[in-house]
């Protein structure tokens, strides 16, 4: 598989574009993730002409709105320039399958950015550029480098990246009703691990050649919203038990007992998700099932990423 295009704040790639002329190179991103992702670096503050090094900026509450202005020079207001720049880059962003932003940045922060109101501040802001970029690209998986240190959030982001990548690959060959229902079937167990899949299934119940484009647009938006919810352990247990049902005619009593015990140990937090999944894969190699074989749940991304080892 070719590398997946991902947008990223330039400083995280080691580029000296910070306000002080430095960078915030992230070893996990430039190491592990760079083996699978093709990073496209963006620094809106430099790209709108602020230069490096540059006067520091921050978010302030101004009436009912939030503005991005200079700390030492409040007359320097780059709010509209940042929004306009995100709009100008819309076509570049449309080719991406994910975006990693710099935590806390008044231009690029995804959430909990400091907003000043007089001498008080509160962490409930969003970077001006990031906010506009996310508004213009509602399907795009977005995460901050700081949050990628959390195993659940990291797995959730990368899983969404691969789902959107597969979706875009499917669209490249021309979409048919069969393609759409097949895509849903292959991702159904993943959806179950995040939420109830029935609404998405019902959406596709009446798909035809005439309405496939409209339904596909509704489907992928609803799917990406659903997958943004981090999968909980209890949801994974439900999926594992569901998968176990496909082996009920082939498993010996002691093998079934072992699988049930392993799933229960996962439920109680004694072992990671990789253990029951590996055991299930072992039994399906002996007793293949076409539906399970096509499902992405047990192999949602390259196993070398080892994300489910920590869940």
Query: Of residues 304 and 150, which shows the higher confidence score?
Result: 150
Model confidence at 237: pLDDT above 90 = yes
- In percent, the amount of the chain with pLDDT more than 90 equals 91
pLDDT value of residue 78: 97
Which among 96, 100, 120 has a CA at the least distance from the CA of 109?
Answer: 100
Q: Is the pLDDT of residue 270 over 90?
A: yes
- Tens of pLDDT, residues 148-189: 999 999 999 999 999 999 999 999 989 999 999 999 999 999
At residue 86, the pLDDT reads: 97
Measured CA to CA, the distance from residue 139 to residue 31 in angstroms comes to 26
The reported pLDDT for the residue numbered 304 is: 85
**pLDDT category, 306, cuts 50, 70, 90?**
confident
The phi and psi torsions of 77 (rounded to 5 degrees) equal -115, 110
Q: Mean of the pLDDT values across residues 255-279?
A: 96
Q: Is the bond preceding residue 53 a cis peptide, omega within 30 degrees?
A: yes
Q: What is the pLDDT of residues 94-111, one digit of tens each?
A: 999 999 999 999 999 999
At residue 1, does pLDDT exceed 80? no
With CA atoms as reference, report the closest residue to 311 among 258, 271, 268.
Answer: 271
Sign for the pseudo-dihedral over CA of 226, 168, 43, 63: negative
SS (H, E, C) the chain: CCCEEEEEEHHHHCCCCCCCCCCCCCHHHHCCHHHCEEEEEECHHHHCCCCCCCCCEEEEEECCEEEEEECCCCCCECHHHHHHHHHHCHHHHHCCCCEEECCCCCCCCCCCEEEEECCEEEEEECCHHHHHHHHHCCCCCEEECCHHHCHHHHHHHHHHHHHHHHHHHHHHCCCCHHHHHHHHHHHHHHHHHHCCCHHHHHHCCCCCCCCHHHHHHHHHHHHHHHHCCCCCHHHHHHHHHHHHHHHCCCCCHHHHHHHHHHHHHHHCCCCCCHHHHHHHHHHHHHCCCHHHHHCCCCCCCCHHHCHHHHC
Q: Would you state the pLDDT for residue 309?
A: 81
pLDDT of 22-79, one tens digit each? Answer: 999 999 999 999 999 999 999 999 999 999 999 999 999 998 899 999 999 999 999 9
Q: What is the pLDDT of residue 95?
A: 95
In the predicted model, is pLDDT for residue 2 greater than 90? no
* 102 φ, ψ (degrees, to nearest 5): -85, 125
Instruction: Judge whether residue 192 has pLDDT over 90.
Output: yes
């Amino acid at each position: 598989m070719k590398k997946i295009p991902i947008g990223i704040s330039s400083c995280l790639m080691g580029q000296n574009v910070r306000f002080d002329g430095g960078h915030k190179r992230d070893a996990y991103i430039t190491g592990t993730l760079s083996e699978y992702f093709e990073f496209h670096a963006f620094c809106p503050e430099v790209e709108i002409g602020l230069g490096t090094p540059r006067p520091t900026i921050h978010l302030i509450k101004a009436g009912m709105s939030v503005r991005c202005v200079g700390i030492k020079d409040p007359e320097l207001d780059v709010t509209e320039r940042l929004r306009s720049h995100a709009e100008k880059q819309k076509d570049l962003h449309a080719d991406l399958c994910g975006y990693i932003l710099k935590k806390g940045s008044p231009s690029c922060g995804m959430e909990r950015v400091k907003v000043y109101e007089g001498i008080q501040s509160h962490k409930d802001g969003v970077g001006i550029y990031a906010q506009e970029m996310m508004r213009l690209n509602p399907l795009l998986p977005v995460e901050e480098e700081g949050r990628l240190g959390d195993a659940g959030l990291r797995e959730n982001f990368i899983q969404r990246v691969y789902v959107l990548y597969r979706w875009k690959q499917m669209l490249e060959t021309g979409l048919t009703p069969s393609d759409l229902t097949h895509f849903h079937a292959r991702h159904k167990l993943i959806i179950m691990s995040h939420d109830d899949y029935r609404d998405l299934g019902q959406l596709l119940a009446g798909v035809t050649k005439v309405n496939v484009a409209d339904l596909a647009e509704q489907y992928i938006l609803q799917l990406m919203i659903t997958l943004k919810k981090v999968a909980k352990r209890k949801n994974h247990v439900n999926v594992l038990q569901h998968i176990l049902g496909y082996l009920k005619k082939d498993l010996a009593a002691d093998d079934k007992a072992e699988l049930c015990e392993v799933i229960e140990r996962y439920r109680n937090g004694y072992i990671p998700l990789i253990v029951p999944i590996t055991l299930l894969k072992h039994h399906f190699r002996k007793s293949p099932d076409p539906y399970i074989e096509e499902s992405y749940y047990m192999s949602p991304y390259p196993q070398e990423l080892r994300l489910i080892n920590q869940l």
